[in-house]
């Protein structure tokens, strides 16, 4: 285990009935680092995020945040320790306003009104502050999801398919935001289908297949790796 790692995951397994969604996944992430997680559908990327964030509990394996095991903690405890995430399909508090959405999350990080205002601003949500979340379009909901995560001051942010459904201008803007977040010292684990979007963010990726890692390295090297090619195009 690398002593400087923020997140270290070892031999994580999770089964749903007979199906092994995760089968001994290990990975490490340093503060401020952006790691891409790629793989074909059903390879276990989203399950990895769900298990690390606490939506599911792993069957076996360990999850450590700065050396501290967090694998058995409930979601809100992990959140308060600095793990947060976004959702592929955003899950805002629909009946609440945008500002109230952030206010809920502000309680436990002692974020004040200015913090809320700053985050609204940072994610281009200020003009929407008093709108009910259910009235937002999908790109706006994704930014709200991200703002809700950011206001808890995470040190590790798990980003699940943030690029899907965004137009090129929104993609560029989103990439800038994620880079700013990483520059502030937050580690990002990014599950992404849009490899172009991912390439802007990072050069280091882990490729998964059938619940385990089959490649780790740069995106360019991955494109030449025979196992990776096999997985993506072989079957």
Partner 1 sequence: MPRGVWFSVGVVLLFVVLPFVYGNHDLLFSMMMYLVLAQGINVLFGFTGYLPFGYVGFFGAGAYGMSLAILLLHFPPFAALIAGAAAAVLVALVLAPLLRLSGAYFAIASLAASEVLYYVISNPHLTSITQGPYGINLAAVYDSSASYAVMVAVLALALGMVVYLRNSRTGLALQAIREEPVSAGFAGVNVVRERTRAWLMSAALAGLAGGAYAWHVSVFYPKPVFDLNISVFAIVFTLFGGVATLSGPVVGTLLLYGLYNWIGISQPQYFQLVFGVVIVALVLFLPNGLVSLLRRVGANVP
Q: Which is nearer to partner 1, 100 or 170 (CB)?
A: 100
**What is the binding site for partner 1 (CB under 8 A)?**
53-55, 74-76, 79-80, 84-85, 87, 91-96, 100-101, 103-105, 107-109, 145, 148-149, 152
Q: Shortest distance, CB of residue 159 to partner 1, whole angstroms? A: 13
Q: Shortest distance, CB of residue 209 to partner 1, whole angstroms? A: 27
Q: Shortest distance, CB of residue 107 to partner 1, whole angstroms? A: 5
Q: Which is nearer to partner 1, 141 or 231 (CB)?
A: 141
Q: Which is nearer to partner 1, 43 or 101 (CB)?
A: 101
Q: Shortest distance, CB of residue 140 to partner 1, whole angstroms? A: 16
Rounded Cα–Cα distance for residues 170 and 29 (Å): 27
Q: Which is nearer to partner 1, 129 or 214 (CB)?
A: 129
How many other CB atoms are found less than 10 A from the CB of residue 46? 19
Q: Which is nearer to partner 1, 47 or 152 (CB)?
A: 152
Q: Shortest distance, CB of residue 137 to partner 1, whole angstroms? A: 18
Rounded Cα–Cα distance for residues 40 and 12 (Å): 19
């Amino acid at each position: 285990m690398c002593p400087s790692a923020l997140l270290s995951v070892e031999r994580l397994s999770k089964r749903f009935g007979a199906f092994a969604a995760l089968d001994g996944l290990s990975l490490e992430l340093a503060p401020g680092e952006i790691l891409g997680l790629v793989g074909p559908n059903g390879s276990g990327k989203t399950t990895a995020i769900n298990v690390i964030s606490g939506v599911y509990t792993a069957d076996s394996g360990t999850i450590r945040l700065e050396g501290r095991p967090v694998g058995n903690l409930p979601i809100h405890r992990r959140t308060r320790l600095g793990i947060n995430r976004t959702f592929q399909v955003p899950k805002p508090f629909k009946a609440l306003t945008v500002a109230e959405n952030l206010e809920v999350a502000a309680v436990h990080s002692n974020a004040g009104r200015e913090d809320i205002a700053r985050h609204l601003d940072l994610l281009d949500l200020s003009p929407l502050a008093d709108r009910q979340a259910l009235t937002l379009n999908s790109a706006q909901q994704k930014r709200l999801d991200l703002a809700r995560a950011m206001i808890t001051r995470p040190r590790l942010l798990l980003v699940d398919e943030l690029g899907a459904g965004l137009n090129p201008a929104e993609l560029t803007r989103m990439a800038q935001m994620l880079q700013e977040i990483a520059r502030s010292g937050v580690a990002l684990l990014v599950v992404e289908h849009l490899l172009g979007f991912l390439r802007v963010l990072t050069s280091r990726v882990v490729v998964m297949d059938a619940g385990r890692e089959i490649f780790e390295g740069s995106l360019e090297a991955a494109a030449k790796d025979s196992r990776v090619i096999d997985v993506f195009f072989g079957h």
